[in-house]
Amino acid sequence: MSRGPDAPHDVQVGVASEAARRRTLAIISHPDAGKSTLTEALALHAHAIRQAGHVHGKAGRAGVVSDWQEMEKARGISISSAVLQLHHEGHVLNVLDTPGHADFSEDTYRVLAAVDSAIMLVDAARGMERQTRKLFEVCRHRRIPVITVVNKWDRPGLEALAVLDDIAAATGLRPTPLNWPVGIAGDFRGLLDTRRGDYVRFTRTPGGASLALSERMDAATAAREEGAAWAQAQEEAELLAVSGGEHDREAFLGHESTPVLFTAAVVNFGVAQVLDALAELAPAPTAQRVTGGGSREVDDPFSAQIFKIQAGMNPAHRDRLAFARIHSGCFQRGMTVVNARTQRPLVLKHVQTVFGSDRQTVDEAWPGDVIGLVNATHIQVGDTLAQAPVVAFPPIPAFAPEHFGAARALDLGKAKQFRQGLAALDAEGVVQVLHSDRRGHGEPVLAAVGPLQYEVAVHRMAHEFHAPLQIDPLPYSVARRVDTRHATLIDSGRGSELVVRSDGQALALFLDEWRLGTFQRAHPDVELLPVMGAD
Clarify whether residues 304 and 438 are in a common domain. Answer: no
300-314 mean pLDDT: 84
In a domain, 261, yes or no: yes
Instruction: Evaluate if residue 2 carries a pLDDT over 80.
Output: no
* pLDDT digits 0-9 by tens, 59-92: 333 444 444 345 444 444 444 457 889 999 999 9
In a domain, 393, yes or no: no
Contact of 438 with 45, CB cutoff 8 Å = no
Omega before 285 within 30 of 0, i.e. cis: no
In a domain, 2, yes or no: no
The per-residue pLDDT for 330 is 96
Clarify whether residues 360 and 480 are in a common domain. Answer: no
43-55 mean pLDDT: 67
In a domain, 418, yes or no: yes
| Predicted confidence band of residue 407 (pLDDT cuts 50, 70, 90) | very high
| Predicted confidence band of residue 440 (pLDDT cuts 50, 70, 90) | confident
Clarify whether residues 340 and 442 are in a common domain. Answer: no
Could you list the residue range(s) of the whole structural domain that residue 433 is in? 403-530
The per-residue pLDDT for 101 is 45
Neighbours of 485 (CB within 10 A): 9
CA angle 430, 433, 434 (to 5 degrees): 150
* Mean pLDDT rounded to a whole number for the chain: 87
Three-state SS across 263-317? CEHHHCECHHHHHHHHHHHCCCCCCEECCCCCEECCCCCCEEEEEEEEECCCCCC
| Predicted confidence band of residue 329 (pLDDT cuts 50, 70, 90) | very high
* pLDDT digits 0-9 by tens, 336-355: 999 999 999 999 999 988 77
Clarify whether residues 292 and 276 are in a common domain. Answer: no
The per-residue pLDDT for 194 is 96
Clarify whether residues 174 and 191 are in a common domain. Answer: yes
Nearest-angstrom CA–CA distance, 148 and 281? 12
The per-residue pLDDT for 532 is 64
| Predicted confidence band of residue 357 (pLDDT cuts 50, 70, 90) | low
The per-residue pLDDT for 67 is 41
Clarify whether residues 239 and 264 are in a common domain. Answer: yes
Q: Write down the H helix ranges in 99-248.
A: 105-112, 130-141, 160-171, 219-226, 228-242
Name residue 146's amino acid: V
Cα 402 to Cα 325, 510, 512, distances in angstroms: 29, 11, 10
Secondary structure (3-state) at 180 = strand
In a domain, 253, yes or no: yes
CATH assignment of the domain containing 237: 3.40.50.300
Burial string for 374-393 (b: 16+ CB within 10 Å, else e) reads: bebeebbbbbbbbbeebbbb
Total domain count, the chain: 3
Clarify whether residues 241 and 341 are in a common domain. Answer: no
Contact of 35 with 80, CB cutoff 8 Å = no
Clarify whether residues 68 and 129 are in a common domain. Answer: yes
Burial string for 496-533 (b: 16+ CB within 10 Å, else e) reads: bbbbbbeeeebbbbbbeeebbebbeeeeeebebeebee
The per-residue pLDDT for 456 is 84
Better-predicted residue by pLDDT, 312 or 220: 220
The per-residue pLDDT for 68 is 39
Nearest-angstrom CA–CA distance, 180 and 81? 30
Nearest-angstrom CA–CA distance, 488 and 147? 51
381-399 mean pLDDT: 90
The per-residue pLDDT for 70 is 52
Q: C-alpha dihedral over 230, 231, 233, 238, to 10 degrees?
A: 140
Out of 281, 298, 316, a domain closes at 281
Nearest-angstrom CA–CA distance, 387 and 328? 10
Out of 281, 309, 333, a domain closes at 281
| Predicted confidence band of residue 431 (pLDDT cuts 50, 70, 90) | confident
Clarify whether residues 212 and 298 are in a common domain. Answer: no
The per-residue pLDDT for 50 is 55
Out of 331, 352, 386, a domain closes at 386
Which residue from 133, 128, 91, 96 is spatially nearest to 112, judged by alpha carbons?
A: 96
121-146 mean pLDDT: 91
How many residues appear in the chain? 535
Clarify whether residues 292 and 275 are in a common domain. Answer: no
In a domain, 234, yes or no: yes
The per-residue pLDDT for 479 is 94
Burial class (CB in 10 A: 0-12, 13-18, 19+), 102: middle
In a domain, 7, yes or no: no
CATH assignment of the domain containing 369: 2.40.30.10
Nearest-angstrom CA–CA distance, 449 and 102? 8
Nearest-angstrom CA–CA distance, 116 and 252? 13
Cα 510 to Cα 294, 448, 496, 500, distances in angstroms: 40, 15, 5, 14
Q: C-alpha dihedral over 258, 261, 265, 271, to 10 degrees?
A: -110
In a domain, 207, yes or no: yes
Beta-carbon contacts of residue 369 (< 8 Å; ≥ 6 apart): 22, 24, 85, 92, 94, 325, 326, 331, 353
The per-residue pLDDT for 12 is 61
Clarify whether residues 36 and 76 are in a common domain. Answer: yes
Contact of 189 with 226, CB cutoff 8 Å = yes
Clarify whether residues 207 and 258 are in a common domain. Answer: yes
209: left (phi over 0), alpha (psi -120 to 50) or beta: alpha
The per-residue pLDDT for 5 is 43
Nearest-angstrom CA–CA distance, 389 and 398? 27
